[in-house]
Chains A and B, each alone.
Chain A
Amino acid sequence: CSMAGEEDFFLEEKRFKQHCEEFVKHSQQIGDGWEWRTSKDLGDGYLSKTHFQVRNRHIPPDLKEKTNDNIEQTLLAHVEESLDDSQVAAVCTTDEVIRYEYHVLYSSSYQVPVLYFRACFLDGRPLTLEEIWRSVHACYQDRLQEGPWDTITQQEHPILGQPFFVLHPCRTKEFVSAVVTGPWKHNRHKNYIILWLSTVGPVVGLSLPLSYAKVAPEQNS
């Protein structure tokens, strides 16, 4: 991963916290479920969101011949987190419900936000790395195949100490620079978290409602 022109896309920790604050405020307004968690010992923290996805396992036999990934993508649907127990139970009989937990942490080494996530079935069984790779959105499968070990791997969460999957920061710069037009300094007024998360989130099944695009940051130094 290249840091050339890193002045362009890096984010200071203070600014990271400010943008996260703005982000959570908007999330609360639209009920999108994000919250900020502060660590007790050092005062740093991270964004966190949990949601459920339904995966339909009943693939008609003739479709099974084609690549699993495309079929799974078309059958993937987001469900509201407010599914009550009976609704979840009803879904379970023919489908798989997967609980995703997403965390956004700050990497001081790369000076960018990093997306951590974990996923498990309702019985608690965690998804394997292979299952995660298979569930990466069809658009990104080529990129993933080129370098799976550089893209999504299992790592230790730096604050909780538990295994999570991580979207590598190196790839972040690639994804973000493809989306931002012109040098970052022209985009300073935008919220980095919204821009970054709306770009990398979909790679791992996380999307942001369009209303985030309306968020206008306060004019900071």
Chain B
Amino acid sequence: MTDDKDVLRDVWFGRIPTCFTLYQDEITEREAEPYYLLLPRISYLTLVTDKVKKHFQKVMRQEEVSEIWFEYEGTPLKWHYPIGLLFDLHASNTALPWSITVHFKNFPEKDLLHCHSKDVIEAHFMACIKEADALKHKSQVINEMQKKDHKQLWMGLQNDKFEQFWAINRKLMEYPAEDNGFRYIPFRIYQATTERPFIQKLFRPIASGGQLHTLGDLLKDVCPSAIAPEDGEQKTQVMIHGIEPMLETPIQWLSEHMSYPDNFLHISIIPRPTD
């Protein structure tokens, strides 16, 4: 029986083989070769693509280069979503490597947040962690931590240091002995087909009678269209970190073991492949 802690490692070290190609209309002095990279599922595009930027800037003139942005099959990729979420939502049932197009011009102001420095990523990451703790612990745990602990969470993510990250993050995964779980579960449900970017609501992990709520309970409550009717066929997949967890899984367990480093469960509802 796999230890629960192994799940934490599997989630942290998940990778997606990716091929970066420069957009054909970018002006180059020489031909731009594609660049291959294993992307960490748990990180953010702008945090892990310095080498990609350098590689393409080598064949471009300085004046042609402004803020980098990424696109997949015409859809600008939101760098503030974790990479694993972007892949699951847009490309999970397509052939690997994941083909991403790199742009340096015509930044899509209406679609993407700007990311001029690593500070922006850190601020976003920490804001997510704080919001998650507001839901789980009324912000008590995150507020009791010192600034250096907050820094350690960020440095752990930035430098891909599992132990360093979890030394602090484990405190965010604890709850009082008298409770059986968090106050509310930090989660977001994404569907590529909706204008609304995600669904987020208050949801308790424990029912009033003391039973553990499951993933199925969450979906029924918050996104009933994701669950097929009893007799109908399941038209969608419910995906977290590239897998379909059983709907009977307790949501408290999922929150503790399959959240992203920002402490949120990012859940994708995608069309089930028909073949």
Q: Which residue numbers of A lie inside 8 Å of B, CB to CB?
A: 1-4, 6, 39, 41-42, 108-110, 126, 128-129, 149-150, 153-163, 168, 170
Q: For B138, list chain A residues within 8 Å (CB).
A: 3, 6
B119 touches A156 (CB 8 A): no
B8 to chain A, nearest CB (A): 24
Q: Are A154 and B139 in contact (CB under 8 A)?
A: no
* Contact status B197-A109, CB under 8 Å: no
Known: A1-B130, A3-B140, A110-B134. A154 touches B196 (CB 8 A): no
Pick from A4, A39, A108: contact of B196, CB below 8 A: A39
B113 touches A156 (CB 8 A): yes
Given contacts A3-B139, A154-B114, A163-B113, contact A108 B197 (CB under 8 A): no
Q: Are B78 and A156 in contact (CB under 8 A)?
A: yes
**Chain B hits for A126, CB < 8 A:** 109
In this complex, the member of B80, B135, B196 whose beta carbon has the largest number of chain A beta carbons within 10 angstroms is B196
For residue B196, which residues in chain A have a CB less than 8 angstroms away from its CB? Answer: 39, 41-42, 158-159, 161
In the complex with contacts A149-B119, A154-B113, A2-B195 CB distance below 8 A:
no
Which residues on the B side are within 8 Å of A108 (C-beta)?
Answer: 200-202
- Which residues between 203 and 236 of chain B lie within 8 Å of chain A, taking CB atoms? none
Q: Which residues of B contact A110 (CB under 8 A)?
A: 131, 134
User: In the complex, what residue of chain A is closest to B188 when comparing beta carbons?
Assistant: A158
Complex contact A153–B194 (CB within 8 A): no
**CB distance A163 to B110 under 8 Å?**
yes
Residues of chain B touching chain A, judged by Cβ–Cβ distance below 8 Å, are 78, 80, 109-114, 119-120, 122-124, 127, 130-131, 134-135, 138-140, 143, 186, 194-202
Chain A residues near B119 (CB, 8 Å)? 149
The answer to whether A160 and B112 touch (CB under 8 A), given A3-B140, A108-B200, A109-B135, is no
Q: Which residue of A lies closest to B203 (CB)?
A: A108
Q: Say whether A153 contacts B202, CB under 8 Å.
A: no
A158 touches B198 (CB 8 A): yes
A4 and B130 CA atoms in complex are apart in Å by 14
Residues from chain B with a CB closer than 8 A to the CB of A154 are: 113-114, 120
Number of A-B residue pairs with CB-CB distance less than 8 Å in the complex they form: 71
A2–B139 CB distance below 8 A: yes
The docked-state distance in angstroms from the alpha carbon of A3 to that of B144 is: 11
Across the interface, which residues of B come within 8 angstroms of A159, CB to CB?
Answer: 196
Residues A109 and B131 in contact, CB atoms below 8 Å apart: yes
CA distance A110 to B119 in the complex (A): 24
**Residues of chain A within 8 A of B143, CB atoms compared:** 1-4
Residue of A nearest to B194 (CB): A41
CB within 8 Å for A3 and B134 given contacts A154-B114, A161-B197: yes
B134 to A, closest residue via Cβ: A109
For the complex formed, measure the closest distance between the CB of B187 and the CB atoms of chain A, giving whole angstroms: 11
Complex A-B: 25 CB contacts under 8 Å: A1-B134, A2-B143, A3-B134, A3-B138, A3-B140, A3-B143, A4-B143, A39-B196, A42-B196, A108-B202, A109-B131, A109-B135, A110-B131, A126-B109, A128-B114, A129-B114, A149-B122, A153-B123, A153-B124, A154-B120, A155-B127, A158-B197, A163-B110, A168-B127, A170-B130
Contact partner of B127 (CB less than 8 A), chosen from A6, A42, A129, A153, is A153
9 smallest beta-carbon distances between A and B, as pairs: A161-B197, A149-B123, A3-B139, A3-B138, A109-B131, A154-B113, A109-B134, A163-B113, A108-B202
Further 7 A-B residue pairs, CB within 8 A, beyond A3-B139, A154-B120: A42-B199, A109-B131, A109-B200, A154-B113, A156-B80, A161-B195, A163-B112
- Provide the residues of chain A in CB contact with B113, threshold 8 Å: 154-156, 163
Closest to B116 in A: A129
The smallest C-beta distance from A63 to any residue of chain B, in angstroms, reads 29
Shortest distance in angstroms between B3's beta carbon and chain A's nearest beta carbon?
A: 32
Q: Which residues of A contact B110 (CB under 8 A)?
A: 162-163
